[in-house]
């Protein structure tokens, strides 16, 4: 099987974690005799530096021609710290989402028994957490009209949603709930915001077509509390662009590290897969970044491509990696290793069918120094 993957490493630690994800994909290709054709393009600050555009036409063409997109991260302090910057890396990400119609952002959040020590919570509090957030990605306040008035003395950001925009992601979230634990929670601010009241109206119209799914409604301020107070109550969370951004980042504490959380952004013609941790420029070039979120994003990509056994291999490798005490510095692991060696070890665990019984030999064959 030949598959074309657009690879957008981006900024900061993006290139480092994507490099490790590609090691894992190469192991999959060798094991299953697939051919992954990797087509690279720039996005974000690196694209501004090279082309004056955070999402150049060449990058868009590369994405359009690919079967799926693997993306690292965008952002650089020279733009983050300059509120007057006219061209910003984030503009490239928003434009890419809009042009590719990537309307559904899917963020799974799971607790790992071997990482519970990283959480500020007691083990019983976060045991068996398994949540997936469906965040609308191409509407809302991020894409509404924005600007300055009164000579820069006031600013505005308009939040606009159409019924069609809400319907298409709501159906995706309901389908996910059907295949999981049959529960969906709509997170909104319907007591204050007109857009949130439209969300409730649409979800209430759609719900009867999914009779097995229990629907709950929760204001976002309460949801922010409940995600931490009682996370096991959630199965599928459906919400808008801004609320989804905040809630899913907040919930990352349940997994122990932002470096553990993958995501998918789905559209009608293609899909993009990325870790949610951002560019983390302070760690760039130090070989300390956690590549697991990027590697788990490849597992989501493999499922999207109907390579389900291959995706299971990737997740099994991550489980073995963690259970045997390995991890990058953010995981405070028993055996702390570099980003680059993590990628090598995870690729080896993916490739070897008997990895569960041979992990020590695999480690010894890769390096004599942990």
Which residue in the list 42, 245, 313, 330 is annotated as catalytic? 245
Give strand pairing partners of 70. Answer: 7, 273
Answer yes or no: 112 catalytic. no
What HEC string does the chain produce? CEEEEEEEEECCCHHHHHHHHHHHHHHHHHHHCCEEEEEECCCCHHHHHHHCCCCCHHHHHHHHCCCEEEEEECCCHHHHCCCCCCCCHHHHHHHHHHHCCCCEEEEEEECCHHHHHHCCCCHHHHCCCEEEEEEECCCHHHCCCEEEEHHHCEEEECCCCCHHHHHHHHHHHHHHHHHCCCEEEEEECCCCCHHHHHHHHHHHHHHHHCCCCEEEEEEHHHHHHHHHHCHHHCCEEEECHHHHHHHHHHHHHHCCCHHHCEEEEECCCCEEEEECCCCCHHHCCCCCCCCHHHHHHHHHHHHHCCCHHHHHHHHHHHHHHHHCCEECHHHCCCEECCHHHHHHHHHHHHHCCCHHHHHHHHHHHHCCCC
Distance CA 24, CA 317 (A): 10
* Contact between residue 24 and residue 352 where contact means Cβ atoms under 8 Å apart: no
| Residue 221: active-site member | yes
Among 61, 164, 221, 364, the active-site one is 221
Please tell me which residue in 55, 112, 134, 142 is annotated as part of the active site.
142
Decide if 134 is catalytic: no
* Rounded distance between C-alpha atoms, residue 86 and residue 252, angstroms: 31
Question: Which position among 4, 249, 287, 351 bears the catalytic label?
Answer: 249
Residue (of 132, 9, 121, 22) closest to 75 by Cα position:
9
Q: Which of these is catalytic: 23, 189, 280, 304?
A: 189
142 is a catalytic site residue:
yes
Cβ(369)–Cβ(46) below 8 Å = no
> What residues are labeled active site?
142, 189, 221, 245, 249
């Amino acid at each position: 099987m030949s598959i074309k993957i657009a690879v957008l490493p981006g900024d900061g630690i993006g290139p480092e974690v994507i490099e490790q994800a590609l090691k894992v994909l190469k192991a999959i290709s060798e094991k299953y005799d697939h051919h992954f054709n990797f087509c690279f393009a720039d996005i974000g600050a690196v694209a501004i530096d090279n082309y004056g555009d955070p999402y150049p036409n060449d990058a868009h063409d590369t994405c359009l021609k690919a079967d799926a997109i693997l993306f690292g991260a965008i952002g650089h302090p020279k733009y983050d710290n300059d509120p007057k910057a006219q061209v910003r890396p984030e503009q490239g990400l928003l434009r890419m989402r809009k042009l590719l119609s990537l309307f559904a952002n899917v963020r799974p959040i799971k607790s790992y028994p071997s990482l519970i020590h990283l959480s500020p919570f007691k083990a019983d509090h976060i045991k068996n957490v398994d949540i997936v957030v469906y965040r609308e990605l191409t509407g809302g306040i991020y894409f509404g009209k924005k600007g300055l008035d009164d000579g820069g003395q006031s600013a505005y950001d308009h939040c606009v949603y159409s019924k069609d925009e809400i319907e298409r992601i709501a159906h995706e979230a309901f389908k996910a709930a059907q295949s999981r634990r049959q529960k969906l929670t709509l997170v909104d601010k319907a007591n204050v915001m007109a857009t949130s009241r439209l969300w409730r109206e649409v979800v209430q119209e759609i719900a009867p077509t999914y009779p097995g799914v229990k629907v709950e409604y929760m204001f976002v301020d309460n949801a922010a509390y409940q995600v931490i107070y009682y996370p096991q109550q959630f199965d599928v969370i459906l919400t808008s662009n801004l609320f989804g951004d905040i809630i899913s980042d907040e919930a990352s504490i349940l997994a122990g590290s932002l470096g553990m959380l993958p995501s998918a952004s789905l559209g009608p013609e293609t899909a993009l897969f990325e870790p949610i941790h951002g560019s983390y420029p302070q760690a760039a070039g130090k070989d300390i970044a956690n590549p697991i979120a990027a590697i788990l994003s490849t597992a989501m990509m493999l499922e999207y491509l109907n390579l389900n056994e291959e995706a299971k291999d990737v997740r099994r490798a991550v489980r073995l990696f963690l259970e045997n005490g390995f991890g990058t510095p953010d995981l405070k692991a028993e055996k702390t290793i570099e980003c680059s060696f993590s990628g090598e070890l995870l690729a080896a665990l993916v490739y070897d069918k008997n990895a569960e019984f041979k992990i020590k030999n695999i480690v010894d064959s890769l390096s004599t120094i942990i």
